Structure 1
Amino acid sequence: MTISKGTAVGFCVLGMTLVGSSVAVSQLLLDYPTLTAQAIRYTAAAAMLFLIAHRFPRLGGSTPGVRPTVRELGILLVVAATGMAGFNACIMLALHHDTEPAVVGTIIGAAPLGLALLGPLVGPLVAGGRARPSTRIVAAAAVVVAGTVLVEGTGRATTVGVLGAAGALVGEILFSLLAAIVLPRLGAVRVAAYSCALAVPLLLLGALVAGEPAAWRLPTATETGALAYLAVLMTVVAFVFWFIGLERLGVARAGILVGLMPVATLTTAAVMAMAVPGIGPALGVLTVAAGLAFGLTGKTDKPAAAGAAGQSASGSRGGKDGAAAAGQERSASLTASA
């Protein structure tokens, strides 16, 4: 499936907006067994994604009937373990240890810079050749990160909470980097479907180790609604749109759009609280917008001569990317998200 750069940007924006808006929704699940809730969410999402892949086999750029190889399954397993199960576990660890969502969001907000620096390394794995980070993209990512800090601000944090947020940041970055390797052949829908399915047993195992079975119960009506939102919009819709857009834009360029997550989180929180954001967050939104405009327009640095092929996979056609849930599942972060 060939889409324009503008459409790809729109897909990524929608994906990150959904991920960012899910923070408030995820907080409705703080009283429900954490890992169990995520296992339910990913089970439902995987079922829907496999159904979509069966009914619309070419959706998301995949080839009908394609199956992941053993190597690809290994990569997808790491995506599920780090960018999904691990990401959510780290987020909830931070939130449960007296660390404010703003602090978690600020730390995860560094994901665009990490993707800008590491994204070009994915190109050679997909198409061969060499590539180096674009100065323009790295600078734009730094501006977006600065805007994220203004948007999220600072707040109360503990050592365990900060470590949990840092773990979520690593998971967010790996979510996109690793997904980029398998997206060209498997397509967005299948990558999302297999990742969700592989995350379920990991989460259930984690729930057993954490002693959650003793607290298992049916979710309340509010919790059921939150789980449905996370499964349908935050996972199925956001993941597929994010993967499609990232394959077209490349990890480094699309990665800066992860900076939209805290903006979406701020907007959602303001709407739910019926309160106007302060001057700092408002300036942060403008800063993020400026960074995105700078990074998504104009020419980027040329890769090393031998690396044209690498850039083409990591930039234009698809070094791709992923996931980060948010693959910053990715600020979606703050949630129990992607």
Structure 2
Amino acid sequence: MNATTTRGALLAALACVLVGGSFTANSVLGDYPYAGGQFLRYALACLLLLPAAGKGAADRLRALTPRQWGRLALLAAVGMAGFNLAVLAAERTAEPAVPGVFVGCAPVVVAVLVPLLDGRGPQRTVLYGALLVAVGAFTVQGWGRTDGTGIAFSVCALAGEVGFAVLAVPVLRPLGPRLLSAAVCAVAALESAAIGLLVDGGGWLRRPGGVETAALLWQAVVVTVVGFVCWYMGMQRIGAERATLFSGLIPVAAACTAPLVGTGAYGLPQAVGSALVGLGVALGSGVLRRAGGERRSPGRAFRGNGRPESRGVRVPGRPE
């Protein structure tokens, strides 16, 4: 891999590790209103991201078409607010491992869906790597008790995880990672407030306690601000297909941090699953390619949608 691809892989990996570690923070927010917590998280993240959005941010936002704004709204609804709601709903009748297993299949879906939407066939190495990542995620988490409702909401969670990557592809180039993260956080905050008012009425928002405040700050500052920007910067460099491979690190990170708070153990299945995820990521991202096999010609790099472009040529509309 060249320097651009390596940086993209490291950024995507860091983002997914941060998300995986956030499940520890989620465990202390069980009594806090869901929509209110999401509103606080995304509103604070938006305020922190706006100063880093760069010059001309307002002009770039005004230049978006109604269709692109609709995509941003769908991205926030499906990949952020909807994803979290689906996971919580699934866990009412299913053990947490069940939605985790379905979400672990996201690399396979993205490896097939993104090329089809782009008018090309799936890359075999990426697809094989995605299958290994999915098997590794299943091995790490195992399977648990569930019913039809739990499975249905787990499928919705899978759709949300896929949507978080796929829906962002057309708007990543004109906005850039920082402004895109700020924009979707603003939209997600508004959507969360609307959900809270409709579902919980006046009780949708309350003052969090000390531990809840720390958890919400972690989610807003570390997981959302740092995690989202790293994720979209990584996706910009290596494409949605390869970036989503690293989502297999989410259950691995969750399994590694669970013993720290006494909510799980790290044993042989977790070690084997972690190794499979690592192997799948290495295969799909190109680390294990043989010398001279499927290697890009010198002077070629990947744009955010997976298509090659000449190195050093600025893509119109992409902030540098």
TM-score normalised by length of structure 2: 0.86
Residue in 2 that maps onto 1:278: 267
Question: Which of 144, 152, 155 is 2:144 aligned to?
Answer: 155
User: Structure 1 residues 119 and 301 mapped into 2: Cα distance closer, same or farther (>3 Å)?
Assistant: farther
Number of residues of Structure 1 aligned to a counterpart in Structure 2? 297
Which residue is 2:280 aligned to? 291
What are the equivalent positions in structure 2 for 1:53-132 lying under 5 Å apart? 53=53, 56-57=54-55, 65-67=59-61, 68-95=64-91, 97-122=92-117, 124=118, 130-132=119-121
Structure 2 distance, partners of 1:50, 1:196, is 10
Q: Is the 8 Å Cα contact of residues 150 and 283 (structure 1) preserved in structure 2?
A: yes
Matched with 2:9 is 9
Whether the 8 Å CA contact 1:120–1:251 is kept in 2: the answer is: no
The alignment partner of 2:75 has SS state of: helix
- 1:1-338 correspondence to structure 2 within 5 Å: 4-53=4-53, 56-57=54-55, 65-67=59-61, 68-95=64-91, 97-122=92-117, 124=118, 130-214=119-203, 216-273=205-262, 276-297=265-286, 298=289, 299=293, 314-315=305-306
- Identity over aligned residues, as a percent? 33
RMSD: 2.4
**Matches of 2:197 and 2:264 in 1, distance apart?**
40
- CA contact under 8 A between 1:153 and 1:281: conserved in structure 2? no
Q: Which residue of 2 aligns with 1:328?
A: none
Matches of 2:48 and 2:98, distance apart in 1: 33
- Greater relative contact order structure (CA < 8 Å, 6+ sep): 1
Mark the runs of 5 or more structure 1 residues left unpaired by the alignment: 125-129, 303-308, 319-338
User: Paired residue for 2:312?
Assistant: none
Is the contact made by 1:249 and 1:316 (CA closer than 8 Å) also made in structure 2? no
Secondary structure of the corresponding residue to residue 169 of structure 2: helix
- 1:323 is aligned to none
The whole-number CA distance in structure 2 between the counterparts of 1:215 and 1:181 is 33
Letter in 2 for 1:4: T
Query: Cα deviation per residue 1:62-120 (whole Å; 9 max; x = unaligned)?
Result: 9784223322211111101110111111111122x142222221111111101111122
Q: Which amino acid aligns with 2:218?
A: Y
Per the TM alignment, residue 215 of structure 1 is displaced from its structure 2 partner at its CA by 5.8
Other structure's SS at 1:66 match: helix
- 2:27 & 2:263 partners in 1: Cα distance? 17
Q: C-alpha distance in 1, partners of 2:81/2:235?
A: 21
The answer to whether the Cα contact below 8 Å between 1:36 and 1:212 also exists between their aligned partners in 2 is no
Q: Is the 8 A contact 1:33 1:212 kept in 2?
A: no
Three-state SS of the structure 2 residue aligned to 1:13 is helix
- Give the aligned residue type for 1:102: A
Deviation at 1:208, TM superposition (A): 2.0
CA distance in 2, matches of 1:94, 1:279: 27
| Cα distance change on mapping 1:186 and 1:280 into 2, 3 Å | same
Q: Are the structure 2 counterparts of residues 283 and 202 from structure 1 closer, same or farther at C-alpha, using a change threshold of 3 Å?
A: same
Q: Are 1:248 and 1:316, in contact at CA under 8 Å, matched by a contact in 2? A: no
Cα shift at 1:212: 4.8
SS at match of 2:28: helix
